[in-house]
Structure 1
């Protein structure tokens, strides 16, 4: 015969845990019990079950303890039966809490979420009114609230911590929370009191009306966060229908009153937009540099001092492309002026290549770095940044029209050929670039500087010198053939 287990309306959580532990220790299956609270009517054949002593230790996952602590306060009359049935299964299936496909667990999780949502609404929408004069010692406040679930006891400890220096009462149609002299208690079925007016409500309503932004009004979203069932107990909610009705006219008035003059930066934004058109830059070099200085095609412009354009004669037969500006390049606005640039200058001299006859630039025009103390440490650009900046490199290629492009390192090789891997194996080879011209692959001077073994560093520097000499000789030979 099924036994009835009646739980009290307050202290429900502790009572359910004690009863569930006792029945589980005694091996009573879920189908032999009918769980109710004190408001449920007595059935004709109901026999109140005696709760056995919970002699056996019951272990449950922490996730179940947290879930049951919320589900107990749901308004579903079957909540206790569902919890006990799941707890019964959990003793035989220890991993059940991790089974996302379990129907019973999914239902309990939805109940848990609903209770936590109700708890959040209670914290947000309880509106206290002062019910005592300040000279009476501890100030006293009261509120009327209508929760969806039985969340007063579940939430009352929050208010006790938050408002510990005053006495307060939260009345509801079911259980009311009363906090007096630092002690919290609960009362049942207290009639709704007549609460006095509160002078501070007018100030609060005025504030609410003034922060209401008609241009950002989304009625459905607002009602999702502030359900209409709570409105009649919130003083500011009386203004909401009027504010909604006036919103379109107020939004039009705000737009009409907005400044009509464009901001000072509009001209620069328009210049940048023109510079980022699909076709390559066709204006003079000075215009190209100005447009590049306003580049915002990728996030790198936010941290850099400035964009660094290429430098050298626009009739150069040899273009050398590095990775990106370094710390000194970022500060001075010129390419290859730092330690890597000094090594490149020495290699150019050893190869017999006049720097004045070479166009020097980088695949990425802004310095990418991380800050460590007072130092800015170089970071390699990613594929997205390389692709965004390739527009400027292609514009330089179209303007200079070099015979040979020497790609220094993986980033330059990726920007020019679409492939940045295997630089050591490809070094010295000539490939066809995306722009249709010849691209020779070599090593970046910064990579050579980072090599810790002196003998290896000498070998790599010699390789760079050889590549520079070969590229320059190719340009000279081509110039002689085409009469450049």
Structure 2
């Protein structure tokens, strides 16, 4: 039995070197055991002349590499063995690529990846809120998986000022120039200066990084809204990801006849990670209710998935997204349409209408009528709920709100006929 001792819970470098070596040596998965080093133990390393440097790289599909990077962060003791087994089977032709959905190892791998992605999103939201409020320099967080290290670069991008993330298993400290790691609260109450190790040095080389920019192939192959949303988490197709806290993807049900498309997330949506939850979202919800539409029975999204804003008096004020962002986000909107299969798409405002119609749009000329959008779907243009909030007086607001509700009733009537 070969024993592989890893330096820490996300020691990708050691796992990768050992996997590359023993897969090529055709060492069976059941002949290898994996564990994390205890205090004072030395991680696995091949002894000369049998050097890992002589091993050829493994030619793996990008999807599989991505899944390995993410699953390595799962709080599952058997994950190292599972990942080795999957790679071994693939490299030796024992994994049926045409029937991977039914494969028990792949199903388990997908479950680990999904758990890690969900918690990554939760952690990023927690860090974003911490960064925005800045009531202290330390964020105390208790993750269910080993996700902290892999999100170091994300945290730096969100907040360039010094900060510290403290978890039971790991501490992560950004001093404004360099990222450092040390043992967590469960191992040490106080961490002395000599306990910190710099990112990229010592054992902190090659750990996974969850910022994996999705490709067009990733988007096209997403089989559900959940997987599509996970792919969009690290979208870098335009510049809006840098100032925004997160990707705000659509929400709702697949295979619903009614889909709503707005402009972009606002300040509250950017913090909450959900579309239409701010002031405009409250108007939208009230209008839906009056029109007899249940929000949890439809799909709601935006043409642009990141919040574009400008700072003024310590507040983030909405800015209309530019054409670059609209074009960059169209692949996500098209993919959402493909999975939702709507009978009718309601376009809320100019940006949504122009994104879907791919031409200049004047709301006053095109609203309140249903037209054929393509062979499978019809369209309806109306105002964005935020327009109602900007009207100068209560009389105008009441009048336009009534028209907005009438447009939604028209949509409801169309999908039920």
> Larger RCO: Structure 1 or Structure 2 (Cα < 8 Å, ≥ 6 residues apart)?
2
Could you tell me the TM-score, scaled by structure 2's length? 0.49
Going by fraction, where is helix more abundant, 1 or 2? 1
Structure number with bigger Rg: 1
